[in-house]
Structure 1
Amino acid sequence: MKSIENIKNVYFLGIGGIGMSALARYFKFTGRNVAGYDRTQTALTDALQEEGIDVHFEDDIKHIPGNWNPATTIAVYTPALPDDHEELAWFKSQPIGLFKRAKVLGLICNEKSGIGVAGTHGKTTTSTIVANILNKTEKGCGAFLGGISKNFKSNLLLPKADSPWIVAEADEFDRSFLHLNPQLALITSIDADHLDIYGEKEKIVESFEKYISQIKAGGKLVLKKGVELDTTKTSAEIYSYALQGDADFSALNLKLDEASGFYRFDLKTPDGIIANCKMNYPGLVNVENTVGASALAHFAGATANEIKAGIEDYQGVARRFDIRFKSEQKIYIDDYAHHPEELKAFITSVRALYPGKKMTGIFQPHLYSRTQDFAAEFATSLDLLDKTILLPLYPAREKPIPGVSSEIIFDKMMIDAKVMAEKEEAMELIKNDSNEIILTMGAGDIDRMVPGITQLLENK
């Protein structure tokens, strides 16, 4: 498929995924007929249905529209689908274009000046901040985001007709980001992850090096200080960013406003200092994400005032350092963290924000393979809490691995205040928990606990 201009009908297999749903919304808003399947009904699939998209939850070809012309129809699928999926098998047997989500995203983004945000963690927040800043500029931008932006109330920002920029989260899973050819690229981190796909960290690094080699001529690459890559494989101009210290972009005079819990800083750039940048979103890790995002916005032409406005106006992403409840006695924060390094960054950021307060964390491991590969590292990160409630593992797309469960993390933890619990038991434990801060962490279905915990704390 060279172009999407002649496509009139788009069917999604796994339409409820965060990346898939953004594409579904894009095609719907651009006048195409859109329908799709997902395994589970969620708030996101409910939203798609409210927007006029036909979504069903039974794997049965009878739900596939029969009146769509195959010549003007494509099907988009997620690699998370099982091999025996009935609808996927049907599309494979038909004269209908069948494409991975990443391929279709690349076709859309590569037609414009793409901004690709890659990294094993921090992608969603950083790309959303970039989009929020550029949305303040005269020509704006489009964006395909990996979470629901609280500013946009969506994971999709439609570009203006003359907007040259489109921001995309460049996902390393299944090497999806190799379908992107950005003009501006940023890498937040390269940690060992998705070893079920890559096998070893060296292969992950190779994939990131391939990604940066695809930056368009005259493009720019922004690397977080400390990320090690063979940058001879790209012709892009290379810049660095860091929270603080010696880098092309960094935060100077960083201060925490204890009354609000938010940071302010001066932003160092190669062209001078942007003074008195104020955040209205918490977390030291998010200051670092903001520095990286500001670097991309700077190279995309945003002025100092536009960068400051986008930083100050940023409201966050659902499930990213998401403060759900706050009183004098209790604070509850929900986060998508599902890798040991993400857990460490999140927990230490909360510690910096609320020094001296006791923390209870509820964590749901995600994937058998990730749990097996990083059990010791998960234990070390969870030991940073004062108390841990460990939920059963969420398998997602994987089949069980013998001997792998949440217990292999639990057994390696050193803190005494730890307990294994089902979700219902965890709710009971939270009712009587005396610690000032409660955290929920994970990428599975732990998000379904969030409204209940919030309501519990509000009632107390």
Structure 2
Amino acid sequence: MLKGKEHIYFIGIGGIGMSALARYFHQSGYKVAGYDRRITPLTKRLQNEGVAVTNFEDADAIPFDFKNPEDTLVVYTPAIPSENEILLYFKENTFGCIKRAQVLGELSKQMPTIAVAGTHGKTTISTLLAHLLHTSNIKCNAFLGGISRNLGTNLLLQADARWMITEADEYDRSFLQLHAQMAIVSSMDLDHMDIYTHKEDMYGAYQKFIDQINENGFIAVKKEAALELDLKISNNTYALDAQSEAEIYAKNIKVQEGRFIFDYVSKEDQIEELHCGLPGLHNIENALAAIALVRKLGLTDHQIREGLSSFEGVQRRFDVHIQKESVVYIDDYAHHPSEINALHASIAQMFPNRKVTAIFQPHLFSRTQDFADEFAVALAAFDDLILLEIYPARETPIEGVDALWLSKKINKEGVHVCEKHHILKLLKSKDIDLLVTLGAGDIDTLIHPIREYLEANY
């Protein structure tokens, strides 16, 4: 794949996974450049590190040094439309063009790999794993799907790393490219129905992913998913659950001063009185999975206790930007109905009796259409609701599917549909108690102006 290559060009370099790969190769001595349609804090950080990034979709914007097919590799994501002018230029001029998943697959052949799969929870678990190993002085390279609050980055790169940690993305069946020794499957809710036409199709892909794990390795799977796959529990395969007994489970769960305290129980051992600052039972399950895996790598009770207690989470995962008596502001990446339900439950648990105003940006026309009824039920739980227009990402519009269409499915009065640039004006007409912004598109560009407005007026 990389033989004879000195230059690597990334199409979609601003994506959280692509930017980590770009930074990895740049720090490994390759000359790296790329295109993304948006200039963001991630792309600016790449530029500050010496990576050339353009947001012009024009072959003339490709640096001259990256126009030799003999020494340039092109990496792109499935999110890039096939008619993208830069991608077309490279393909028409016989450059080697491969998907991001293939690159991760090749890297996973070079180092023992820990792969974290699941519809939800991949980023939190992989980031927690990296944190636990890092604080225990076990060197690893980690490609993260979010910015670790502890590390301040989506890439952990260490000399003499013993392990590679990566998210195993189910979209486009990308995770089947990976060659892992250890794996976690956190959840298996149906998603990406442009790839998986029904649940059985998706389950089949997850089963193939699990079958590829080294037979002497380690697999931890959420109990519900293990039952769906009819997994055979063995010495290296575990089912886990936060609310009922399994091979790995939590007991004595309680909340003190905004932090979960629980006991970790497995068929081999038990660790009592663990402290976790992340809200929600789903994050206890995430912690159980990470603990079980690092236990296999030899981490002690003390290392696990200290690492979990000091873990600050991931940006855009229940990100509390303001917390005072007059107002609370939270931002979250939730973009699937199950994630919205979990977010609402976490808010109710951590901030009971507060009126919650939610601003939601749907992500993808297809997902909005496929799960419209489920979105309607999940979003109706908020006290006040504002919908932004659908973020298209890789898709073209579907006729009749928009935010107004979704709003009419929600059994709730007073649902607002608002353009992004009008959001502050709308907020000024409301009495905000607790505000949450949620979605996987570019809603994060509203965080700074909303935070400034709330800080100045509440």
Normalising by structure 2, we get a TM-score of 0.95
Contact 1:143 1:167 in 2 (8 A): yes
Q: Which residue number corresponds to residue 100 of structure 2?
A: 101
Distance change (3 Å), C-alpha of 1:235 and 1:106: farther
2:53 aligned residue (44, 52, 55): 55
AA in 2 matched with 1:148: I
CA distance in 1, matches of 2:405, 2:357: 20
Cα distance, 1:392 vs structure 2: 1.2
AA in 2 matched with 1:314: F
Q: Which residue number corresponds to residue 193 of structure 2?
A: 195
1:300 aligned residue (297, 301, 308): 297
Cα distance, 1:358 vs structure 2: 1.4
Cα distance, 1:318 vs structure 2: 1.0
Distance change (3 Å), C-alpha of 1:296 and 1:10: same
Question: Is residue 223 of structure 2 the alignment partner of residue 225 of structure 1?
Answer: yes
Question: Is residue 417 of structure 2 the alignment partner of residue 420 of structure 1?
Answer: yes
CA distance in 2, matches of 1:400, 1:138: 48
CA distance in 2, matches of 1:30, 1:279: 35
Q: Which residue number corresponds to residue 380 of structure 1?
A: 377
2:62 aligned residue (42, 61, 64): 64
Q: Which residue number corresponds to residue 408 of structure 1?
A: 405
CA distance in 2, matches of 1:400, 1:234: 44
Cα distance, 1:201 vs structure 2: 2.3
AA in 2 matched with 1:320: R
Question: Is residue 323 of structure 2 the alignment partner of residue 326 of structure 1?
Answer: yes
Q: Which residue number corresponds to residue 110 of structure 1?
A: 109
Cα distance, 1:267 vs structure 2: 1.5
Contact 2:280 2:342 in 1 (8 A): no
Q: Which residue number corresponds to residue 357 of structure 1?
A: 354
Distance change (3 Å), C-alpha of 1:427 and 1:30: same
Distance change (3 Å), C-alpha of 1:175 and 1:459: same
Distance change (3 Å), C-alpha of 1:327 and 1:355: same
CA distance in 1, matches of 2:183, 2:46: 30
Structure 1 runs not aligned, ≥5 long: none
Q: Which residue number corresponds to residue 245 of structure 1?
A: 244
CA distance in 1, matches of 2:414, 2:298: 50
Q: What secondary structure does 2:194 align onto?
A: helix
Q: What secondary structure does 2:176 align onto?
A: helix
Percent identical among aligned pairs is 45
Q: What secondary structure does 1:226 align onto?
A: helix
Any idea what the Cα deviations from partners look like across 1:69-100, whole Å, max 9, x if unmatched?
54332110111111211221122133432110
Question: Is residue 115 of structure 2 the alignment partner of residue 90 of structure 1?
Answer: no
Q: Which residue number corresponds to residue 160 of structure 1?
A: 159
- How many residues align? The count is 455
CA distance in 2, matches of 1:209, 1:186: 12
Cα distance, 1:416 vs structure 2: 2.3
Ranges of 4+ aligned residues in structure 1 off by more than 4 Å: 231-236
Farther off after superposition, 206-215 or 18-27: 206-215
CA distance in 2, matches of 1:24, 1:426: 34
Contact 1:11 1:75 in 2 (8 A): yes
Normalising by structure 1, we get a TM-score of 0.94
Question: Is residue 452 of structure 2 the alignment partner of residue 455 of structure 1?
Answer: yes
Contact 1:117 1:186 in 2 (8 A): yes
Structure 2 runs not aligned, ≥5 long: none
Q: Which residue number corresponds to residue 22 of structure 2?
A: 24
Q: Which residue number corresponds to residue 369 of structure 1?
A: 366
Q: Which residue number corresponds to residue 123 of structure 2?
A: 124
Farther off after superposition, 293-302 or 394-403: 293-302
Q: What secondary structure does 2:144 align onto?
A: strand
Distance change (3 Å), C-alpha of 1:235 and 1:213: farther
Question: Is residue 36 of structure 2 the alignment partner of residue 41 of structure 1?
Answer: no
CA distance in 1, matches of 2:414, 2:281: 26
Output aligned runs, 1:169-208, within 5 Å: 169-208=167-206
CA distance in 1, matches of 2:191, 2:204: 13
Any idea what the Cα deviations from partners look like across 1:385-405, whole Å, max 9, x if unmatched?
111111111111111111111
AA in 2 matched with 1:94: N
